[in-house]
Amino acid sequence: MKNTLTIAGRQFRGYFNGPVAYIVICLFVVVLGVFFWPPFFLMGRATVRDMFSVAGVLLVLTTPAITMGLLAEEKRTGTIELLITMPVRDWEVILGKYLAALGLTAVMLLMTIGYPISVASLGNLDWGPVWTGYLGLLLQGAGMLAIGVMASSWTENQLIAFFVALVVNAFFWFIDRFLPFFPPSIASPIEWLSMDYHFRSMARGVIDTRDLVFFVSIVALSLGLAFRALESRRWK
């Protein structure tokens, strides 16, 4: 575990040593505010549910940017060869880099807490759905980051890793929008695959074990595939 935390700490600091963290966080916070505040003032009631809906879509776009270089860039420069020959296990490399990305995402979400605080100052805001909504965003981000790590483990090109993660994330987020095109017999399983479907219940203040299992399964499967990709490179 010590190796994992060392890798995570180094990667996390690396985000803030360059422009990536600042650009992603600033764009996320600013774009979220642009799309949230005008409809909020038109509604005239104290709720941040629309903010969570916008944030969910933004995570589809920002998480690939956070993860695209985690393994792809190291493979391109050859530093991954040095890393995997050191006395660290492949799963420690994968998990360490994933935890760094998750930490950056948590910081990014924390920077938006000013929005619900502002809403609470304008009306009677129910904080229960706010906290469960943030939990839902963190779980959604965890799943999408794991997909991004998986995509980054498959290629040496950061742009390819970005677009692969973007496409897969978009699939899991928007799949329930196409339910009318599926036969009723498979509509329910298709809906269950949607991250948005699981996230919406948390944004309403409901924590369901099935939703937690879904996101944890996405993380475990994606990181497992990333581990296999890195392990196959070691054998080559």
The mean per-residue pLDDT over the stretch 182-207 comes to 82
Alpha-carbon distance of 104 to 77, in angstroms, equals 23
Question: Taking a C-beta distance cutoff of 8 angstroms, is the pair 207, 71 a contact?
Answer: no
Dihedral sign of CA atoms 196, 197, 198, 199 in order: positive
Q: Is the pLDDT of residue 61 over 80?
A: yes
Question: Taking a C-beta distance cutoff of 8 angstroms, is the pair 171, 161 a contact?
Answer: no
The confidence band for 233, taking pLDDT boundaries of 50, 70 and 90, is low
* pLDDT reported for residue 47: 72
Owning domain of residue 91: 2-235
Split into its structural domains, the chain has a count of 1
The mean per-residue pLDDT over the stretch 60-77 comes to 84
Cα-trace Rg, the chain: 19
Q: Residue 51, Cβ neighbours under 10 Å: how many?
A: 24
The mean per-residue pLDDT over the stretch 146-160 comes to 90
The confidence band for 84, taking pLDDT boundaries of 50, 70 and 90, is low
- Among 39-48, 71-80, 221-230, whose mean pLDDT is lowest? 39-48
Q: Is the pLDDT of residue 35 over 80?
A: yes
Within 13 Å of residue 12, how many CA atoms lie on the same side as its CB? 19
* pLDDT reported for residue 9: 87
Give the chain's mean pLDDT: 84
